[in-house]
Structure 1
Amino acid sequence: MKLNDIVKQILVRDIDDNSYSDFYIKQDNAKYSFFESEQSGKSLIQTLLWPMTSFHIIAYIFDTNDSYQGVVASLGQKTWSKRDREEAKEIGNEWAKYLSQSPIPRQSIPLKLHELFFEVFKERRPVGTEMQLSRLLIDENFMTNALKLLIASDQCARKIEHLLSRPKNPNLVSDYMNNISTDSGIKTLSEGLDSYGSIHVKTMTPQSGISINSLSHSIAYVKPGIDCFTLKGRTQKKNDDLYHVLILPWPLNIERDFFSIDTNPPLEMDPNNFGFFAYNNKEKITTEMVLYAINEAEKEVSFPDLVVIPECAIAKDESNLLAQELIDYFTSNSIHPPLFIYGAYDHSQPGQYGKNYLEFIYYDDFNNRNIRVDQPKHHRWALDRNQIISYKLGTKLTPKKKWWENCEINSRKIISYFDDDTHICPLICEDLARQDPIAPVVRSLGPSLVVALLLDGPQMKGRWPEKYAGVLAEDPGSSVLSVSPYGMTQRSTGLGYPPSSSVALWSDGDTTVSLDLTEKKVGISLALEKRSVEQWAADGRWQLKKALKYAGHISVGLKSNLDEIKLKVTVPQNIPVLPTAKSLDKTVLEKTIESSI
């Protein structure tokens, strides 16, 4: 296949789209300026001027042809040099200055940037042979310049990352961001089609092995097949070297009748060996309970930056109310809200599966409002004999069968949230343990923090959460927090183990620690050190990354006070259901716009 055909496939949605005059860069457009493009229609150079799109095209070519290793091996008779690296960095820095200028610059794009575009995307003669990608991938000049463009794009993205929100002053970054951002989120930072992969913000870079992930510090290429949504949040401005997470391992009590046989799912399996089960939290979680815990955490340690509640904690019909009341509270009191990540679920209906998903509430820095996003679970939990006995469920679910969770499994979607302090990817239980299809995406994105919501036993060293957290701690270098309900860890005694208070496990590559909830307390305030760590990309560039490392933790609140709050709460009548924003398509992540601060 020819290079220009690949570029066309990535950029043009409709085969009959004639908005581009051609898919080459010419020497005579070296004086191209952005203003000229507004008069002459779309051109390839205008599209390539957005670094996320240039990165997308080169990363797709390198990844699908497994040809990126040249940066640490050889490029024909040539090897990647310090001079190549410095030239790429210089081009990236000048590129970023051009895009960041306000008002929008009228001068030509940087000359070296245009020369690089030309060397990669020029029309080669004779067209029938020299433009074939297979020939170009063994051409040392093409490979050297393509690698320079990939690295320059990443360098530019690093310099303009702080502008990936709604800017006060107009510049080219804001123009491009307006083109790709919607109320349903940023599905890719590239203007290319996500059917050829997508581009997202990245934080951590793997420090061992070699993959396409090894070549960038600031933007990630995610292979097609996963709907990944980049969310840009706004943090509370405070002079604090610590990041505070409030863990609410609720419900604090789980009875065996929270689990039941479910005959609604339509999938027909061997009834002698398999069945479906349903889980229903009968210990209702209210806004007053959450606010009490936040206030206690603030009194004991600090106001939390993030609040985490485990898997399947809140039923769907209660989640809208909880989210709206939390936002209303912080808005009316002029308090910047923390991030919220909590597990939610919906009951099955005859012929329909239930749902297991997480809710993510954050203040959107681009749209300047509070937004609620959901992410589904990607793998069903299967209760086997040992788990049924361990959780003392044998009187509800026979140990002779394997019992599958009743949740639906649809398209694959993942949230990638970043702000000035951290970069978070949340997961649900089995998604942490199963390598496909989510784990490769997480490794590509390189979040500084992975938050795993579980409905599991004790979060202790030696169990499966530590094993899989260790994998992510090594590649790409993420810290991992897994959280399970206290009621579940207390229930895990059927195999002869004592009740456990280990409701969370923290792993950051340096420290792995079980977080125990003190008796008669309601939550754990986890303090994390904001530390800069040095990482290197495979091309030789180093960069300081924002990492979160364990600093300490303390249990907060009193269960007796929480019980009193439960008794005082009355259920409001005629609660309005929050509207859902329009989706990009039928399978896109649903987002609900709550209110403005």
Structure 2
Amino acid sequence: MSVTIKKTAAYTLRDALRSLFPRGYLDHKGYQTRLELTDTKRLPPKLHKTFENPPYLAVDLFAIAGFLLLKSGGYHHVSPEVGGAASPRMITVTAAQRDAWKAAGRQWREATGGVVPPPPPELIAAWDELKEWFRNDLFREKLPSAKPRPWWPACVALLAIADEAAANVGFEASASNAQAFTADVQMRKEIAANRKVYTLSSADPDHICVLPKSRTPKVGCTLRSLSHHLALLPSRGLARAYWSPAPQISGESATVANAPFNLVIIPSPFKVRAEAFRGTPATDATWGWFHIKSHWCPASGAKKGKAFRDGFEPFLKFVTDVLDEAARDVGTVHGLVFPEAALSYEVFQKLCLELQQRPGLELLVAGLFDARDPTGGYREGNFAAMARLDEDAKGKKKFDIATREKHHRWRIEKSQIDAYALGSALDANSGWWEKIDILSRSLDVFVLRGGATVTTLICEDLARNDPCQELVRGVGPNLLIALLMDGPQLKDRWPARYATVLAEDPGSSVLSVTSKGLIARSNATKRFPASDKIALWRDDSGRTEELSLPDGAHGLCLTLQPGAVSERSLDGRLNSNAQSWRLTGIVPVTATPDVDILAGEWPGGL
């Protein structure tokens, strides 16, 4: 009996473009028509659907070129020319080609009044070359000795030109940089309409998203190694990175981009009772759920009244005293960090309101054990909150708050139950999964000082490769803060191992912070040598630093120094404007807290 195997229809380059832009995109001709419209009631010009012309925006061209190179496997065939030698299996990029691409990208972004200029001749030539192959298969199985696909070089040229044109997109925008100016205007429109920005491109986000990036990895041969300024990210259904452009701070509130950044860590809670871990066994009793019931901070939405006010005032005074003591040494404190599950949303929000007029303070980061629900209430879980200083339309300073959910559940096993002496709360014969909803996988990326980015990971997310780390590696944040509820932060423990990976690719500086409370529980069991390491630093220079909180101290003040570094893309293009953040100062801070705070209690009770 013979079996006939039906050959599937080819998926061509044109099919790929139709998938990315099912309704078409705006080309330069349509863009010019739109600029000429004065009557707001007239319909906008039709989108370009034939793909005869390239898009007018660099982010859309990058989406096309990046998608084609990714899905065809062409990106890892790219190599700069070395010593005049070239491999017939590689797409060899010469110095002359790189110079031409950089000049074309500069020509495409530079304009007067923020108006995008027409595509340069080099771009048009590469696009015309790519069009000749639109009817060809996107992917084709090739022998190891086969030459690169004939359309790959044109696609590499288009990606490089788009990437060069996108310099400063998502960061500081000016009318002389038309691509950055256009993207900035659109981003702020989306944010003003209470929509978060997870892509700059008009390509279908169910296929790919495009965002700015900060670091180009020095290791590996990936698509992200081919660009300096833009990142090709996964579809919105897998995970989303929400981009917050540079805050609009004026006058004395503005901070020099390369000035030192002084960051205070308060490792709250200082004491954690075993009963804070509440378990609910499953039917077969071999596993169960657990959740955190805070005794160190009141939950959001609870009846507060006088008890809350009486407790918040000592807590605020403690935080302010720590910041004041740090400022006496370093001059100005720019950031404040609390570990995983340290605060409730309402306490974090109130803290932001109280500190938003504090001179120089730019950033607040905290792990939360509850967050605001879309219905208007609050729900328990595990969240990261970031707040960055901005100004409203009247010039009044305020903190913009963004929260997001943890991506992976913590599983507590016997070894951890023993290490933290939690046997009175959780049966050591069972495995216990963190009872949190995993509804939306996302990251919040904040631009700081116009030229740097910061984001967070929550405990287990630091150790898992998917999906959030694909976002981290694509965007390449300058500073990544990992919020942990963990033991001592030592060079030979798991946070250091995973921080090393991200410090190498994409090159982020990673700061992991944990609470004093769990370290104290671990020390009390005497199963391991006593430790006071509440945080750990790792950067792209290879430096790994354990950060100690001495007895009697209530916080650490770190000085981080942004500095320019040079990076090369996989095709050999040089970017001398990247930033690496290095640790240059560590100062313990001692305040005079309410005794309840050090005992792990909310002052005045809950």
Identity of aligned residues (%): 26
Question: C-alpha displacement at 1:261, in angstroms?
Answer: 1.9
- Matched with 2:32 is 35
Question: C-alpha displacement at 1:561, in angstroms?
Answer: 6.2
Backbone CA RMSD of aligned residues: 3.5
Q: Could you say what secondary structure the match of 2:401 adopts? A: strand
Question: C-alpha displacement at 1:304, in angstroms?
Answer: 2.4
- Matched with 1:312 is 341
Q: Could you say what secondary structure the match of 2:433 adopts? A: strand
- Matched with 2:571 is 539
1:117 to 127, 138, 143: 127
Written as runs of structure 1 = structure 2, the 5 A alignment for 1:326-337 is 326-327=355-356, 330=357, 335-337=359-361
How many pairs are equivalent?
537
Kindly provide the amino acid, as one letter, of the partner of residue 458 in structure 2: I
Contact 2:561 2:583 in 1 (8 A): yes
CA 1:47–1:179 in 2, change beyond 3 Å: closer, same or farther? Answer: farther
- Matched with 2:548 is 516
Q: Could you say what secondary structure the match of 2:262 adopts? A: strand
Kindly provide the amino acid, as one letter, of the partner of residue 19 in structure 2: Q
Question: C-alpha displacement at 1:8, in angstroms?
Answer: 2.3
- Matched with 2:488 is 458
Consecutive unaligned residues in structure 2, runs of 5 or more: 1-10, 38-44, 80-85, 298-311
1:252 paired to 2:270 = yes
- Matched with 1:418 is 447
Distance in 1 (alpha carbons) for counterparts of 2:286 and 2:207: 41
Written as runs of structure 1 = structure 2, the 5 A alignment for 1:114-193 is 114-120=124-130, 122=131, 130-134=135-139, 141-164=150-173, 173-180=180-187, 181-182=190-191, 183-193=194-204
Question: C-alpha displacement at 1:258, in angstroms?
Answer: 1.8
Q: Could you say what secondary structure the match of 1:538 adopts? A: coil
1:341 to 349, 359, 365: 365
1:480 paired to 2:510 = yes
Distance in 2 (alpha carbons) for counterparts of 1:270 and 1:568: 35
Distance in 2 (alpha carbons) for counterparts of 1:435 and 1:371: 29
Distance in 1 (alpha carbons) for counterparts of 2:379 and 2:444: 23
Distance in 1 (alpha carbons) for counterparts of 2:442 and 2:166: 24
Kindly provide the amino acid, as one letter, of the partner of residue 557 in structure 2: S
CA 1:134–1:37 in 2, change beyond 3 Å: closer, same or farther? Answer: farther
- Matched with 1:506 is 537
Written as runs of structure 1 = structure 2, the 5 A alignment for 1:233-382 is 233-234=246-247, 237-238=254-255, 241-262=259-280, 269-284=282-297, 286-327=315-356, 330=357, 335-346=359-370, 354-363=380-389, 370-382=399-411
CA 1:309–1:46 in 2, change beyond 3 Å: closer, same or farther? Answer: farther
1:389 paired to 2:418 = yes
Distance in 2 (alpha carbons) for counterparts of 1:538 and 1:150: 12
1:490 to 520, 525, 529: 520
Kindly provide the amino acid, as one letter, of the partner of residue 454 in structure 1: L
- Matched with 1:59 is 66
Of 481-490 and 81-90, deviating more is 81-90
Distance in 1 (alpha carbons) for counterparts of 2:366 and 2:239: 22
Contact 2:169 2:179 in 1 (8 A): no
CA 1:381–1:75 in 2, change beyond 3 Å: closer, same or farther? Answer: same
Contact 1:287 1:326 in 2 (8 A): no
CA 1:45–1:561 in 2, change beyond 3 Å: closer, same or farther? Answer: farther
Contact 1:74 1:80 in 2 (8 A): no
- Matched with 1:554 is 587
Distance in 2 (alpha carbons) for counterparts of 1:160 and 1:94: 15
Consecutive unaligned residues in structure 1, runs of 5 or more: 264-268, 573-597
2:78 to 71, 75, 89: 71
Question: C-alpha displacement at 1:193, in angstroms?
Answer: 1.7
Contact 1:353 1:406 in 2 (8 A): no
CA 1:108–1:539 in 2, change beyond 3 Å: closer, same or farther? Answer: closer
Q: Deviations over 1:404-432 (max 9, x none)?
A: 11111223111222233532120000000
Q: Could you say what secondary structure the match of 2:151 adopts? A: helix
Of 318-327 and 495-504, deviating more is 318-327
Written as runs of structure 1 = structure 2, the 5 A alignment for 1:15-34 is 17=23, 32=29, 34=31
1:201 paired to 2:234 = no
Q: Could you say what secondary structure the match of 2:485 adopts? A: coil
With the length of structure 2 as denominator, give the TM-score of the two structures: 0.80
Of 1-10 and 429-438, deviating more is 1-10
Distance in 2 (alpha carbons) for counterparts of 1:388 and 1:491: 11
Q: Deviations over 1:244-282 (max 9, x none)?
A: 11111111121222222246xxxxx45321111221232
Q: Could you say what secondary structure the match of 1:491 adopts? A: helix
CA 1:561–1:346 in 2, change beyond 3 Å: closer, same or farther? Answer: closer
Distance in 1 (alpha carbons) for counterparts of 2:372 and 2:122: 59
Contact 2:168 2:180 in 1 (8 A): no
Of 132-141 and 507-516, deviating more is 132-141
Contact 2:13 2:68 in 1 (8 A): no
Q: Deviations over 1:501-554 (max 9, x none)?
A: 110001114311111112122110011222222221110012232101121201
- Matched with 1:6 is 16
CA 1:238–1:362 in 2, change beyond 3 Å: closer, same or farther? Answer: closer
CA 1:47–1:280 in 2, change beyond 3 Å: closer, same or farther? Answer: farther
Question: C-alpha displacement at 1:560, in angstroms?
Answer: 4.2
Distance in 2 (alpha carbons) for counterparts of 1:67 and 1:52: 20
CA 1:289–1:184 in 2, change beyond 3 Å: closer, same or farther? Answer: farther
